[in-house]
Amino acid sequence: MSDFRLTGKVALVTGSQRGIGLGIVKELASAGAQVLLTGIVTDEGEKAAKTLQGQGLNVRFRHMDTTDEGQVSATMQDLVSEFGSFDIAVANAAIYPNTSIAEISAQEWDDVMRVNLRGAFTLAKCAFTHFKRQQSGRVIFLSSITGPRVSSPGYAHYATTKAGVLGFMRTAALEWAPWNITLNAVEPGNILTEGVLEHQPQSFVEAQRAAVPLRRLGTPQDIANAVRFLASDEAGYITGQTLVIDGGQTLPEMSTAILPGA
Ligand SMILES: NC(=O)c1ccc[n+]([C@@H]2O[C@H](COP(=O)([O-])OP(=O)(O)OC[C@H]3O[C@@H](n4cnc5c(N)ncnc54)[C@H](O)[C@@H]3O)[C@@H](O)[C@H]2O)c1
Per-residue pLDDT, 1? 57
Q: pTM, whole model, 2 decimals?
A: 0.97
Nearest CA to ligand 1 atom 38: 15
> Which stretches of the chain are DSSP H helices?
19-30, 42-54, 69-83, 106-112, 119-134, 156-176, 194-199, 202-210, 220-231
Task: Using the mean position of ligand 1's atoms as its centre, give its distance from the Cα of residue 32 in Å.
Answer: 24
The pLDDT tens digits for 30-83 are 999 999 999 999 999 999 999 999 999 999 999 999 999 999 999 999 999 999
CA-to-CA distance for 4 and 13, rounded, in angstroms?
18
Atom of ligand 1 nearest to the CA of 115: 31
Task: Using the mean position of ligand 1's atoms as its centre, give its distance from the Cα of residue 94 in Å.
Answer: 4
pLDDT band at 2 (very low <50, low <70, confident <90, very high): low
93 lines ligand 1 (CB under 6 A): yes
205 lines ligand 1 (CB under 6 A): no
Domain coordinates in residue numbering, the chain: 10-189+225-243
Per-residue pLDDT, 197? 84
Query: What CATH number matches the domain at 10-189+225-243, 3.40.50.720, 3.40.50.150, 3.90.550.10, 3.40.250.10?
Result: 3.40.50.720
158 is catalytic: yes
User: Ligand 1, from 22, 40, 143: best to mutate by most atoms within 8 Å of Cβ?
Assistant: 40
Nearest CA to ligand 1 atom 42: 94
CA-to-CA distance for 169 and 184, rounded, in angstroms?
7
